[in-house]
Amino acid sequence: MAAAAMLVPVVSVTGPAVAGAESTAAAAPLTNLAHLDFLGDEVTPPEQEGHTTYDLAAQPSLGVLWTYADARDGGTFERVGGGEYDPVTDTWSQGAFNADDVSRAAIVYLRHWQQFDDTSSRDTAFDLLRGLTYMQTVSGPNTGNVVLWMQPDGTLNPSAEPVELPDPSDSGPSYWLARTVWALGEGYAAFQDADPAFAGFLQDRMNLSLDALDRQVLIRYGEYQTVDGLQRPAWLIADGADASAEAVYGLAAYVEATGDTRARAALQQFSEGIALMSAGDARTWPFGAIQPWALSRSVWHSWGDQMSGSLARSSAVLDDESLLDTAIRQNANLTPHLLAGSGPDHSWQPGPTNRSQIAYGVDATMQNLLAVSEESGEASFRDLAGFAGSWYFGNNPAGEPMYVPETGVTYDGVEFNGDINRNSGAESAIHGQLSMLALDATPAVALASQAAQQRSRVSWQLLEAEDGRLSNAATVVTPESAWTGEAEYSAGSYVELEPSGWVRNTVDLPVAGRYLLMPVFNRQEVPLTSVGTRSLIGRSPAGVVSHGGAGEQGVSAAPGYLDVGTSQLATAVAAGPNAVQTFYVGDGTTAQLDAVLVQPEVEWLVVSGGGHTRALLKSFAVLQRSATIAVPGEGNVLVSVYDNQGRLTARTWKSGDIVTVTLEPGGFTIAQR
């Protein structure tokens, strides 16, 4: 209640706008299942050993979902499967339908049924859950696991091409098993009273899933694996905090509905493992994020980044505040940095290696914020959710809507250069609708998300080392693959620096002020200070960043790991073109420099639309700072100042188009009119 009340000023500078916006949202929901309905289909599978579902003899037809939808002329789409198509056999080298999408589509229809009391969505959810559970193996050594792919006639394809692990797809723990648990948990909770017999069947299948997780994953609970000197949990599904998070969402719903002690133990163990993947702080990569992959210290990606939201949900079910604290750390630090900087980029590994953006990442970001806000009571995270949701309506690299409310189409993605992929496959449609359901449930956030036209942005710039002018003992190295097995060089190359070597780049700074330099480099398995770099902009030096200190390789794919360092310029620098020089420091050990991120000490994004202007500012300073920005529009400006845990420290009103605001150390500030 407090969180909702605190968010109201986003849209209530002029009082009547609130009621009008909420009534409009009620009359015309953003949610539109038309395109997801189009992707849906029915199939009557042949008899297949080890596979059956609820009431199959009486109801032989199952609900499924096509994997892709390719755009065609006239705004139409063609449903297609995965891999190469063989018209003679009417099969795909992967399949037409997959458990990953069928499970998540079931969740959309379950939530739509409950949110809008829509019996058609209840029926579709029922059909999809029957289709999903048919893909679960119910006998033999793989009992409880799930086959990923199904052909158009309902024949399962356990070994798809190209190969995906595990192979066969029901031979081990997988993302699709985790998503099945998600759907089963929410499905049971929804059908518990509406259809107890079907809910009982879903409960049986949840128990099969728990059997599989217990014998394949949780049997390693309490064990750790060494990853470049760090101890990482060995009991995550497919070594993924991201995969495990999807299971946690389902387990949380199931435990809340049943109180089942076995499921509660699994929920606690997976949540603990996910929380152990948190790293960094307000100034140190990855800035409090929960990393997705246990076998890498370098990787973070927005797609599937549902870990913090799942921990917030789990914290409430388990009554464990420590899980919520971990979730808050990411959403108060990394998340405002991403939203102010470039948006929910596909992946940083650890530099910005793939800056495309997709709905799966956007939805995860927004759902995390809403979940953390709900469980913490802090309005700051709902305020941020409006910036995340605005991606769908134009706050993205293309500056165009990625969601079409009239048709329910969510486009498949947008590249950093603004090119839009106007296909609309299952994953995009699913996560677009999950986002719209969330926005329809929070009208103030939905209204805030309409402020989606970018007015100004000041944030990081990436300087590739190999693009600079090399001097003395500096050499460009281009490995056979940019991917190291656990990380990725951002442009495929790096620079080796030896004593006397240095690199000179040029950066065009948009504003004068204080900056940080964040080199991306290979942290080596040598003493901490035996190798490093020091940089400066113009004549303003930054501190030395050591490149040693990687621990024992352990199970990681390569010795050492790509990392991001942080160094602060000693003085402010002028706007405009500036030289950035990076010099070798060390005892002779060769440094490997990938790039340098030039990060303003205070970054910001200003967006407008729907009669409102909103500004998000994020601080990397260790002391309180102030910043002056333009927030154009009518009326006064409400300024809310939050610390690096998302807690409100000050709220004031300002007048005029140019406003000066305060930022807490490592915190963020939101100004809106």
Residues 97, 130 share a domain: yes
The whole domain housing 558 covers 463-600
For residue 444, pLDDT beyond 50: yes
CA neighbor of 386 nearest in space, from 173, 656, 612, 585: 612
For residue 4, pLDDT beyond 80: no
For residue 25, pLDDT beyond 70: no
Residues 668, 541 share a domain: no
| 3-class secondary-structure state, position 216 | helix
- Three-class SS of 550-616: CCCCECCCCCCEEEECCEEECCCECCEEEEEEEEEEECCCCEEEEEEEEEECEEEEEEEECCEEEEE
Q: Which residues of 34-47 are buried (b: 16+ CB within 10 A; e: fewer)?
A: ebbebbbbebebee
Instruction: List the structure tokens of 528.
Output: 């901490």
Q: Which residues contact 100 (CB under 8 A, 6 or more apart)?
A: 148, 175, 176, 179, 427
Reported confidence tier of residue 418, pLDDT bands at 50, 70, 90: very high
Residues 142, 45 share a domain: yes
Reported confidence tier of residue 105, pLDDT bands at 50, 70, 90: very high
Q: Answer yes or no: is 302 within a domain.
A: no
Question: Which residues face 80 on adjacent strands?
Answer: 68
For residue 16, pLDDT beyond 70: no
Q: Answer yes or no: is 499 within a domain.
A: yes
CA neighbor of 636 nearest in space, from 653, 616, 660: 653
Last residue of a domain, one of 600, 616, 638: 600
For residue 200, pLDDT beyond 50: yes
Reported confidence tier of residue 17, pLDDT bands at 50, 70, 90: very low
Reported confidence tier of residue 429, pLDDT bands at 50, 70, 90: very high
Assign residue 648 the CATH number of its domain: 2.60.40.1180
Residues 592, 608 share a domain: no
Residues 195, 46 share a domain: yes
For residue 15, pLDDT beyond 90: no
Last residue of a domain, one of 600, 624, 650: 600
For residue 13, pLDDT beyond 90: no
Mean pLDDT value across residues 296-303? 98
> Rounded to 5 degrees, what are φ and ψ at 227?
-130, 95
pLDDT on residue 6 = 36
Preceding peptide of 166 cis, ω within 30°: yes
Residues 636, 577 share a domain: no
Residues 617, 580 share a domain: no
Residues 202, 132 share a domain: yes
- What's the domain count of the chain? 3
Residues 618, 554 share a domain: no
Beta-strand ranges (E) seen in 175-326 are: 224-227, 230-233, 300-301
Q: Answer yes or no: is 241 within a domain.
A: no
Q: Following DSSP, what letter does each residue of 93-144 receive, concatenated?
A: SSBSEEHHHHHHHHHHHHHHHHHHT-HHHHHHHHHHHHHHHHTB--SSTTTT
CA neighbor of 557 nearest in space, from 251, 226, 306: 226
* 633-637-639 Cα angle (round to 5): 140
Instruction: List the structure tokens of 527.
Output: 């003493």
For residue 342, pLDDT beyond 60: yes
For residue 580, pLDDT beyond 80: yes
Over the stretch 219-261, which tens digit does the pLDDT of each residue have?
Answer: 999 999 999 999 999 999 999 999 999 999 999 999 999 999 9
Neighbours of 13 (CB within 10 A): 19
Q: Distance between CA 581 and CA 507 in Å, rounded?
A: 10
For residue 101, pLDDT beyond 50: yes
Q: Following DSSP, what letter does each residue of 158-193 receive, concatenated?
A: SS-SS--SSSSTTSS--HHHHHHHHHHHHHHHHHHH
Locus of tokens 């209204």: 447
> Rounded to 5 degrees, what are φ and ψ at 561?
-160, 150
Residues 490, 572 share a domain: yes
Reported confidence tier of residue 363, pLDDT bands at 50, 70, 90: very high
For residue 53, pLDDT beyond 50: yes
Asked if 577 contacts 547 with a C-beta cutoff of 8 angstroms, the reply is no
Q: Answer yes or no: is 48 within a domain.
A: yes
Asked if 435 contacts 389 with a C-beta cutoff of 8 angstroms, the reply is yes
Last residue of a domain, one of 169, 199, 216: 216
Residues 613, 589 share a domain: no
CA neighbor of 295 nearest in space, from 559, 563, 555, 562: 555
Beta-strand ranges (E) seen in 174-333 are: 224-227, 230-233, 300-301
Q: Answer yes or no: is 566 within a domain.
A: yes
pLDDT on residue 201 = 99
Q: Answer yes or no: is 2 within a domain.
A: no
pLDDT above 70: percentage of residues in the chain: 96
Instruction: List the structure tokens of 668.
Output: 């963020």
For residue 7, pLDDT beyond 60: no
For residue 14, pLDDT beyond 90: no
Residues 508, 630 share a domain: no
Instruction: List the structure tokens of 199.
Output: 């809910």
Q: Distance between CA 386 and CA 441 in Å, rounded?
A: 13
Over the stretch 121-147, which tens digit does the pLDDT of each residue have?
Answer: 999 999 999 999 999 999 999 999 999
> Rounded to 5 degrees, what are φ and ψ at 179?
-70, -30
Instruction: List the structure tokens of 248.
Output: 């946690």
C-alpha dihedral sign at 378, 440, 317, 427: negative
Q: Which residues contact 95 (CB under 8 A, 6 or more apart)?
A: 67, 81, 82, 83, 148, 149, 150, 151, 157, 160
pLDDT on residue 258 = 99
Q: Distance between CA 418 and CA 515 in Å, rounded?
A: 27
Q: Answer yes or no: is 91 within a domain.
A: yes
Assign residue 480 the CATH number of its domain: 2.60.120.260
CA neighbor of 562 nearest in space, from 588, 591, 586: 591
Average per-residue pLDDT for the chain: 96
pLDDT on residue 9 = 38
CA neighbor of 311 nearest in space, from 375, 362, 257: 375
Q: Answer yes or no: is 630 within a domain.
A: yes
Write down the pTM of the prediction: 0.95
One-letter identity of residue 250:
G
